[in-house]
Amino acid sequence: MARRNVLITGCSSGIGLALAVKMAKDEQKRFKVYATMRNLAKKEPLEEAAGRSLGKTLEIKQLDVCDEQSIKTCVNSIPDRRIDVLVSNAGMGLIGPIECQTIDEMKTVMDTNFFGLVRLLKEILPDMKRRKSGHIVIISSVMGIQGILFNDVYAASKFAVEGFCESLAIQALKFKLQLSLIEPGPVVTEFERKVFEDGMKMDLSAADEETAEMFTNIYLKNYKQIFQSLGQSAEDVAEHTVKIILAENPPFRHQTNTLYTPMTTLKYADPNGDLPIDTFYKMVFHHDKIFSASLNFIKLLRWRSRKSFDLGKPSQ
Ligand SMILES: NC(=O)C1=CN([C@@H]2O[C@H](COP(=O)(O)OP(=O)(O)OC[C@H]3O[C@@H](n4cnc5c(N)ncnc54)[C@H](OP(=O)(O)O)[C@@H]3O)[C@@H](O)[C@H]2O)C=CC1
Ligand SMILES: CC1=C(/C=C/C(C)=C/C=C/C(C)=C/C=O)C(C)(C)CCC1
């Protein structure tokens, strides 16, 4: 099989970086990775992680998904503009009460997470259609199918991505193109750190007391624990993504976190849509102690299974 050209956005950290490195270090050398980032001053961690694959199976290029010209320049610099696999990964989060967010902040999230994907596809899709080959892989989120308290705009941006892709997938099929949405739950990356820091610094004066208290004492208070208990590593998500890229018949949707699937299943279990909302409501406002204890229990189980694995005894 010929080596596939893979373009990945947002490779300065997190999932993008882990995926670029994993694919570039593929033992069978099945990929040539164009690992892109908007700010090349941040390329050092990727260069370090890439090691000897740098300049061979991995090249670093500038690409800002909010800048059409930068996308065009990057794609034009690739031999024959040939991109066999596009991984749309660049993205950002935003949490907090909407009363305390500006419309400009919200627009930046939509511009990056949704229009960023649209800009990429406007540049890359016509070539794929002409060649009648290509795989478009999008790092969406569980929030692309299910909203979460105080993530209103972020969830909207990922819902937009999913609606857009569900529509496009039908046309793509006609051109023999593949489209796959990767839906991770919480992942421990810069995303988590940035979002939490911004949340902690947020000016909550525009919100009423009850909302501000809910955000601080429920959401932010449990945030770290949720990531510690349910969070995956970027490498783990990268591994799932590579499997999807290599699959003969890649699925349209793929959730990476089995600990999170009971939550998303609620969405599909009730066509009225009340079940997930009522369940989240009860978890947050009525059974917060049980919820917190369950998270601690999961954390302990994961810690113990990792520890026994470290000692050479894989968990039962
Ligand atoms: N972490 C999580 O819990 C989850 C994350 N995701 C999704 O995964 C994807 C990757 O996030 P993750 O690795 O976690 O977070 P990181 O913050 O580690 O990585 C995000 C990447 O996107 C880049 N980026 C942001 N804006 C732009 C832009 N305009 N043009 C190009 N690159 C840009 C960042 O660059 P820079 O360093 O310059 O800011 C960075 O390289 C996102 O789409 C996110 O929504 C999905 C589910 C869960
Ligand atoms: C599980 C859960 C919660 C939080 C989930 C979080 C915080 C998920 C984060 C997902 C991310 C960051 C996805 C990125 O795309 C709540 C609402 C507190 C209570 C109900 C159950």
Check pocket membership of 157 for ligand 1, CB cut-off 6 A.
no
Among 173-187, 229-243, 282-296, whose mean pLDDT is lowest? Answer: 282-296
Rounded mean pLDDT of 91-98? 98
User: Count of domains in the chain?
Assistant: 1
Positions marked active-site: 154
Question: How confident is the model over 267-296, as pLDDT tens digits?
Answer: 989 999 999 999 989 988 887 777 777 777
Residue 180 lies in a domain: yes
Residue 314 lies in a domain: no
Q: What is the dihedral of CA 24, 33, 170, 142, to 10 degrees?
A: 60
- pLDDT given at position 310: 52
Centroid of ligand 1 to alpha carbon of 175 (angstroms): 29
Identify the nearest ligand to the CA of 35 by its number: 1
Q: What is the CATH number of the domain that holds 154?
A: 3.40.50.720
* Domain carrying residue 112: 4-209+231-259
Task: Give me the helices (H) in the chain, please.
Answer: 14-24, 44-50, 68-76, 103-110, 116-131, 152-174, 190-201, 209-214, 221-230, 234-246, 261-269, 274-285, 288-310
Residue 156 lies in a domain: yes
Residue 188 lies in a domain: yes
State which of 34, 36, 38, 236 you would mutate to test the pocket of ligand 1, scoring each by most atoms of that ligand within 8 A of its C-beta. 38
Among 145-154, 238-247, 300-309, whose mean pLDDT is lowest? Answer: 300-309
Identify the nearest ligand to the CA of 230 by its number: 2
Residue 101 lies in a domain: yes
- Take atom 23 of ligand 1 and give the residue whose Cα is closest: 10
Residue 221 lies in a domain: no
Percent of the chain at pLDDT > 70 equals: 95
Residue 301 lies in a domain: no
- pLDDT given at position 307: 61
Residues with CB under 6 A from ligand 2: 141-143, 148-149, 185-186, 222, 226, 263, 280, 283-284
User: ipTM for the complex?
Assistant: 0.97
- Which ligand 1 atom minimizes the distance to the CA of 154? 45
Residue 224 lies in a domain: no
- pLDDT given at position 296: 72
Question: How confident is the model over 61-82, as pLDDT tens digits?
Answer: 999 999 999 999 999 999 999 9
